[in-house]
Amino acid sequence: MNISVSPHTLANGLDVLLHEDHACPIVAVNLWYHVGSKNERPGHTGFAHLFEHLMFEGSQHHDRGYFQPLQGAGAALNGSTNADRTNYWEVVPTNALELALWMESDRMGFLLPALTDAKFNNQRDVVLNERRQNYENRPYGLAPMAMLAALFPADHPYHWTTIGEVADLEAARLDEVHAFFRRYYHPANASLTLAGDIDPDEALALARAYFEDIPAGPRVDAVRADAALDREVRLRLEDRVELPRLYVSWLTPAMFAADDAELDLAADLLANGKTSRLYRRLVFEERIATDVSASQNSREMAGFLQVAATAAPGHALGELERAIVEEIERLAAEGPTDAEIERGRVQAEAQFVFRLQTVGGFGGKSDQLNAYNVFLRNPQYFDADLARYTNATAAAVQRVSARHLAHARRVALSVVPRGRTDLALADSIPAVVQ
Amino acid sequence: MKAAPAKAVGKVDRSRLPEPVRGVEHGFPVIEKSRLANGLRVWTIEHPAVPVVTAILLMRRGAASDPLGKEGLAALTVDMLDEGSGSRSAIDMHEALARIGAQFDSDIGSDAAALTVTTLTRFTDRALTLMADLAARPNLADTDFVRVRQLRLHRLAQMRDMPGAVADRTFVKLLYGDHPYGHTPIGDERALASVTVDDVRAFHGAELTPAVSTLIVAGDCDHGEVLRVASEQFESWTPGPAADPSASGAIPHPARLNIIPRPGAPQSELRIGHVAAPRDTPDYHALVAANMVLGGQFVSRINLNLREGKGLTYGARTNFDFRRAPGPFALQASVHTAGTAVAVREAIDEIAAIRGPRPISSEELALGVAALTRGYARNFETADQIARAAMQIALYDLPDDYFARFVPELEAITPAAATAAAARHLNPERLITLAVGDLDAIAPTLASLDLGEPVIIPADTF
């Protein structure tokens, strides 16, 4: 099992990955730029994401909305920004591949001549709406900001969320857009995958025709920053919520680094699904929580494993914390059972195979090939990635739990109803959210 | 299938966009159908691209079957199905699902409920056996009932803080009142508190029966093999009446403008709409096309106006929710508090305009239709997508060639026909507006919109 891929690099540095799959008469065009909110600086947060919005507002040779011609050809399309990368994709019927390449190459090569103050101001308003809708006006919506700010120091680029701070968004200027585009949006900092109903020779010829004349920009050096917690940090946030929720996070290794997959498995057996240890104990047996979840959030430079649980009415967050810490210590001391390891192995295999069903969109084969290529310089990593999970042993999961989780150098964030700071963990101090 | 031949590769012409040549054809695969003695329909659709199967058990009973005063019973019953079977506890059931790497979901709407399992092909038999355990042989034990109902009550408490959920629950009540569509599936706290485990058992026995159900398996599967396992596993499922309930009742006439106060809210959550058309309306395709132009896609009139033109929202959408009985037409958007009245006025104006004052142009219609038809093939890529498509056929008694006919049906719609359908099914005078937002900030300007005095609905009314 693998995703067959033929990788090429054009003279200007653009990586082009080709994958054939003729099951459905569609082609996925998936373009990654290796830039995200980690490339921002304090005082200029939210910029990478705001920029992503501007990529849909037209370019020099098609100075109108990006959606119309593509939707008129039957495409689905979208884009997203996270801390480490920005991706853009179209899924087109086979006959519209050339149109998608025309559109993507025009905004890679010719965005700035079409950019106006009016577009910039409009999309800044849209982003401020997005921020209010998805963070400020959403229960627990500010928790990610408080958590990241506590886990990573102020000069670390994971200190802020991708949506950015309001003051920074309001202060952003059009000339910064120009500098950002020149620095990051060029072929040598991008990876293009064409997957689906393609003839590889024809697809490569089209990619060359549309992209090879776009000049390479300056080399983008990898961002480097360190994070370490030397003690427990206890924070609290008052929010418009009915039930208090506890978030506990530990700093963990980066994506694809040693221990990353084992921590993923540890998170699953702790709190993913009704069979997980914490769900059984907190929700099913003791009934002191209404929900619990855990995830290893691994990123390019570092990761954090987070457990979150919402208290049932009448229960304080201290009870939840005690149970979470006990279960982690038990996992670190005794390791998982053979049944848990076997279950994790089958679930990993199934999740990997499920993803093979779709060529495009977020998480489809084209997106995965770009992830492997951009982060590992190895698009053929699918099998090796799955093997990280299927080869994980009980001893390894126990070891990583002991090393990365069984200690108090963590951030515990209590989100409580306004005026009910008594429900927070003892000795918590107010979190500052920008 | 071969890719279209490349053209103009040597030199790129940026003076105009490449025109896709027409002609990517895609048909829906054949549905093989059988029926068990107890009435259960067993459908399979072969799609062997990847060794994965999706099995859906569709039951044509949903929240519209909740008895008055027991709103939430159907959803609670469906939620109880995975809480143990025979000697196996709820945890055991989920352990069994996890051991085949299954993705398990249960969904419920007004007209139907569905259990979905996606798994690797080699576990198909085990998945179907588990599905039968869930649907036909659930324990429905009292201790599990107490816990599951409590979790739903907690969920309802949490939803009071979610502006979108508050808006959804209140909006259907405004539109439908005591009609079977007048509540969301989760129900409300008072009704759920009155539900007993006996209600759940009775609902399961009388309503969730093989005669109203279809087992749909899509992906890398074989009809004979699925039928063999289904026959063994589902044959003990007790038959029941097959007739669909009629979702009918009086439609109320609420105030045109309603506000739920959310002090200090930075955005207003909006719903604007009224009861519209059923799934079997002859105007179905024309309304689908008209909605694409009005608010059904990014480049629709309403989204381009409110988001790209005025920067009032992250996104605004409209939708006809087609159901067995007439379902709601609704606009939904979260808009900046300061721009709430402008957004409401613009949205209502757009809805009024599309009925005739600014009829659907041939360019707009062509774009909306093309967006739905030219990329049609991508809707049938995964086992899950194919099973869900077949579920639409089973739920609304559509013909087997429904998906094959969708594209020509839509392409036959004229601009005049789309505009006329919008005029028949949208009525600006009847539009009900609900805003969940900062009352002090939005009431004065909303009151100037000529929609009458706003009715203030306390946040904990429903």
Query: DSSP string of B206-228?
Result: HHS-GGGEEEEEEES--HHHHHH
Q: Give CA angle at B338 (B333, B343), nearest 5°.
A: 40
Assess A280–B contact: CB distance below 8 Å, yes or no: yes
Going from N- to C-terminal start, the domains of chain A cover 6-211, 233-430
B442 vs B245 pLDDT, higher one = B442
The partner residue sitting opposite B95, judged by closest CB among A76, A92, A275, is A275
- Using the Cβ of B118 and the Cβ atoms of chain A, whether some distance falls under 8 Å is answered with yes
**Residue that has been written with the tokens 């952003």 in this structure:** A172
Q: Are residues B303 and B367 in the same domain?
A: yes
Alpha-carbon dihedral sign for residues B174, B176, B178, B180: negative
Supply B240's token pair. Answer: 């029941």
CB contact, 8 Å: A202 with chain B? yes
Q: How confident is the model over A291-346, as pLDDT tens digits? A: 999 999 999 999 999 999 999 999 999 999 999 999 999 999 999 999 999 999 99
Please identify among residues 265-304 of chain B the ones whose CB lies closer than 8 Å to any CB of chain A: 265-267, 269, 297-299, 304
Q: Identify whether the C-beta of residue B89 lies closer than 8 Å to the C-beta of residue B141.
A: no
Consecutive H or E run containing A289: strand A289-298
Claim to verify: residue B64 and residue B163 sit in the same structural domain? yes
B163-176 helix and B142-159 helix, angle to the nearest 10 degrees: 100
In Å, how far are A95, B41, B85, B230 from B92, measured between CA atoms?
49, 28, 9, 22
Domain total of chain B: 2
Of A209, A274, A359, the CB nearest to B94: A274
Tell whether B154 and B186 lie within a shared domain.
Answer: yes
Q: How far apart are CA A371 and CA A310, in angstroms?
A: 33
Q: State whether B117 and B226 are in the same domain.
A: yes
| CA angle (A153, A159, A162) in 5-degree steps | 170
Q: Is residue B10 pLDDT above 60, yes or no?
A: no
A290 to chain B: closest CA residue = B151
Question: CB B38: neighbour CB atoms within 10 A?
Answer: 17
Could you tell me whether strands B432-437 and B257-261 are parallel, antiparallel, or unpaired per DSSP bridges? parallel
- Tokens at residue A240, please? 């418009």
pTM equals 0.95
Residue percentage of chain B with pLDDT more than 70: 97
Q: Which residues of A touch B382 (CB under 8 A)?
A: 357-358
Euclidean distance between CA atoms A354 and B246, whole angstroms: 39
A129 vs B contacts (CB less than 8 Å): 267, 307, 311-314, 334-336
DSSP state of A413: E
Please report, to the nearest 10 degrees, the dihedral formed by the alpha carbons of residues B131, B132, B136, B142 taken in order.
-50
Say yes or no: ipTM exceeds 0.90: yes
Q: Residue B359: count other Cβ atoms within 10 Å of its Cβ.
A: 18
Would you call A134 an interface residue with chain B, using a CB distance cutoff of 8 Å? yes
My answer on whether B190 and B274 are in the same domain is: no
C-alpha pair distances (Å), A296 with each of A190, A206, A240, B228? 26, 39, 27, 42
Is B334 within 8 Å of A74 when comparing Cβ atoms?
no
Q: Which residue of B has its CA nearest to A96?
A: B20
Question: Do residues A182 and A6 lie in contact, with contact meaning Cβ atoms separated by under 8 Å?
Answer: no
- Digit-coded pLDDT (tens) for A125-135: 999 999 999 99
User: What is the spatial distance between Cα A82 and Cα A162, in angstroms, rounded to a whole number?
Assistant: 6
Q: Are strands A233-239 and A411-417 parallel, antiparallel or unpaired?
A: parallel
Question: What are B370's two structure tokens?
Answer: 């093309």
Residue B25 lies in a domain: no
Q: Give per-residue pLDDT as tens, B267-315.
A: 999 999 999 999 999 999 999 999 999 999 999 999 999 999 999 999 9
B166-201, pLDDT tens digit by residue? Answer: 999 999 999 999 999 999 999 999 999 999 999 999
Contact B101 A342 (CB under 8 A): no
The tokens for A81 are 């920004």
- Nearest CB partner across the interface for A74, out of B50, B265, B373: B373
How far off is chain B from A409, nearest CA to CA, in Å? 31
* Cross-chain Cβ contact B311/A94 below 8 Å: no
What is the least distance, in Å, from the CA of B328 to any CA of chain A? Answer: 24
Closest CB to A139: pick one of B102, B150, B161.
Answer: B161
Cβ-nearest to A353 among B120, B311, B314: B120
Last residue within a domain, chosen from B199, B234, B269: B234
Compute the mean pLDDT over every residue in chain B, rounded to the nearest whole number.
94
pLDDT single digits (tens) B422-450? 999 999 999 999 999 999 999 999 999 99
Q: Tell me which of B178, B199, B234 is where a domain ends.
A: B234
- Chain B interface mutation, best of A53, A56, A129, highest count of B Cβ atoms under 10 Å: A129
Q: Could you tell me if A210 lies within 8 Å of chain B, comparing CB atoms?
A: yes
Q: Mark yes or no for CB contact B314/A129 under 8 Å.
A: yes
For chain B, say whether A116 makes contact (Cβ under 8 Å): no
**A2 contact B CB<8A:** no
- Whether B24 has its CB under 8 Å from any CB of chain A: the answer is yes
Judge: B98–A347 Cβ closer than 8 Å, yes or no: yes
**Nearest CA distance, B3 vs chain A (angstrom):** 5
- The answer to whether residues B271 and B393 belong to one domain is yes
Same domain, B178 and B286: no
End-to-end Cα, chain B, rounded Å: 54
How far is it, in rounded angstroms, from Cα A318 to Cα B85?
35
DSSP H helices in A3-116: 47-54, 67-72, 97-109
Q: Which residue has the tokens 């429900």?
A: A423
Distance between CA atoms of A10 and A29, rounded to whole angstroms? 17
Last residue of a domain, one of B200, B234, B268: B234
Query: Per CATH, is A233-430 categorized as 3.30.830.10?
Result: yes
> Residue B28: pLDDT band by 50, 70, 90 thresholds?
confident
Query: How far is it, in rounded angstroms, from Cα A319 to Cα A316?
Result: 6
Residues 365-404 on B with a CB inside 8 Å of A are: 366-367, 370-371, 373-378, 380-384
Give one DSSP letter per residue of B234-264, joined into a string.
HTTSPP---PPPP---PPP---SEEEEE-TT
* CATH number for position B286: 3.30.830.10
Q: Beta B41-46 vs B32-35: how paired, if at all? A: antiparallel
First to last CA, chain A: 46
pLDDT-derived band at B21 (thresholds 50, 70, 90) equals confident
CB contact under 8 A, B99 and A132: no
Same domain, B400 and B340: yes
Residues B42 and B181 both lie in one domain: yes
Return all residues near B415 (Cβ < 8 A) that are at least 6 apart. Answer: B359, B360, B361, B362, B364, B365
* B333 and B228 in a common domain: no
pLDDT digit string (tens) for B200-243?
999 999 999 999 999 999 999 999 999 999 999 999 998 887 77
Domain limits for position B49? 32-234
Interface of A with B in 5-64 (CB under 8 A): 22-27, 61-62
Contact A91 B378 (CB under 8 A): yes
Partnered with residue B331 across adjacent β-strands are: B272, B318
Residue of chain B nearest A288, judged by CA positions: B151
**Tell me, what's the pLDDT at B240?**
81
How is residue B357 written in tokens?
């004052």
Choose among A287, A351, A356: nearest Cβ to B147.
Answer: A287
Q: How many CB pairs under 8 A join A and B?
A: 237
Task: Please say if the pLDDT value at position A273 is more than 50.
Answer: yes
The H-or-E segment that residue B387 falls in is helix B383-396
- A6-211 to CATH, choices 3.50.50.60, 3.30.830.10, 3.40.50.2000, 3.30.365.10: 3.30.830.10
Q: Where are the alpha helices (DSSP H) in B241-382?
A: 284-294, 301-303, 340-353, 362-373
A121 touches chain B (CB under 8 A): yes
In this structure, are residues B294 and B351 in contact, taking their beta carbons and an 8 Å threshold?
Answer: yes
- Asked whether the beta carbons of residue A284 and residue B91 sit closer than 8 angstroms, the reply is yes
Q: Which residues of A touch B157 (CB under 8 A)?
A: 242-243, 313
| Domain shared by B269 and B207, yes or no | no
Q: Is B436 exposed, middle or buried (0-12, 13-18, 19+ CB in 10 A)?
A: buried
Nearest in space to A155 (alpha carbons), one of A38, A303, A302: A38
